[in-house]
Amino acid sequence: MINEQTVRELLGQLKDPFLHKTLAETTGITEVSIKPEKKHVSVKLAIAKINTAEQMALQMKVVETLKEAGAESVGIRFEELSAEVLEQFRGKVTEAETQDILSPLSNTEFISIASGKGGVGKSTVSVNLAVALARLGKKVGLIDADIYGFSVPDMMGVTELPVIRDNRIIPVERLGVKVISMGFFVEDNAPVVWRGPMLGKALDQFFRDVEWGELDYLLLDLPPGTGDVALDLHQMIPASQEIVVTTPHPTAAFVAARAGAMALQTDHKLLGVVENMAWFESKVTGEREFVFGQGGGTRLAEELRTELLGQIPLGQPDWNDDDFAPSVYADDHPIGEIYTGIAKNIVEKTTKK
């Protein structure tokens, strides 16, 4: 029958599914109990996040490892690592690589676009701000970092795929914006079922292996909420500034506050808040109807102690079959003009010294 030292050595080689560090490195093996007569091993493990699919995968690996070593039955309990340990190891995950990853973009302004929940039009805002900045003569890149809900290529009417040249990924250029998205690497709009390490590698490639060239701005359409992908991106790009998107609805603004709080906790600067779907204006009467209520964006900006950059009404872009981009507003469209105003504000705020 295996002993405690062997158990610790074997399990110590397994990795925390979120921190990507071994359990030995994180001191994640907190208890080991062995009943030799029953060939039973009980362990208590601390990991970054419990009650997840990743925990279940680790649990299966633990059972497999210990049974291969001679245990006939295995008991496992999980707990979360302390906040101090999480901070320590999350920092180590990105700090050693950040400078190397971002060095080709050292003169680029990073702007992350976040939301507390899905369905508030965050990707629409990302796309139109990127295009508006390009129309102002800026060199712009856009990363569709919403790994599970990628939509930027479709919104911009992108029909090409990136090419590989000298082992570098050449982004697709559309409407003056260089675009990269997980959607380019998934066949037939298939769902992404990758786990943390694979997703982290893909995001790393978006910075390390893409030939962005010289950029003034690189916008990141973040996943909604405050999950691990969003947190990893926050820590990968410590110099990023952030825009938080909400609707006027109080619940949307309440949830969006979490995304803003996470930005502040990871030492990001808030550029401001964009209130999307602010109202619907009738073409017949010209009257405004506040479909989702009023005031959410203003209250959120006040809570985060930042600026309300603009309010975007509900309205459909004018589609052009010859140059189809179903979510992009023309520069002379009333909503396109609002985006231009927000883009000018961003340029002013990011070029102040």
When the pLDDT of each residue in the chain is averaged and rounded to a whole number, the result is 82
Can you read off the two tokens belonging to residue 7? 């158990």
What is the pLDDT at residue 238?
A: 60
Instruction: Give the fold, CATH level 3, of 4-81.
Output: GMP Synthetase; Chain A, domain 3 (3.30.300)
Place of tokens 């990853």: 101
Q: At the topology level of CATH, where does 97-351 sit?
A: Rossmann fold (3.40.50)
Q: Supply the pTM of this predicted model.
A: 0.69
What are the residue boundaries of the structural domains of the chain, listed by start? 4-81, 97-351
Q: Which residue has the higher pLDDT, 168 or 86?
A: 168
State how far the alpha carbon of 294 is from the alpha carbons of 274, 280, 301, 315, in Å: 13, 12, 13, 17
Q: How sure is the predictor about 98, in pLDDT bands with cuts at 50, 70 and 90?
A: low
The answer to which of 93-97, 122-126, 244-248 has the lowest mean pLDDT is 93-97
- SS3 assignment for 167-214: CEEECEEECCEEEEEHHHHCHHHCCCCCCHHHHHHHHHHHHHCECCCC
Query: What percent of the chain has pLDDT above 90?
Result: 39
Lowest mean pLDDT among 46-55, 193-202, 215-224, 269-278: 193-202
Stretch 291-298: mean pLDDT: 88
- Whether 11 has a pLDDT exceeding 60, the answer reads yes
Confidence of residue 301 (pLDDT cuts 50, 70, 90): confident
Residue 95 has pLDDT above 90, yes or no: no
Dihedral sign for Cα atoms in the order 116, 222, 128, 326: negative
The answer to whether the CB of 38 falls within 8 A of the CB of 73 is yes
Q: What is the pLDDT of residue 193?
A: 44
pLDDT at 83 over 80: no
pLDDT at position 94 is 45
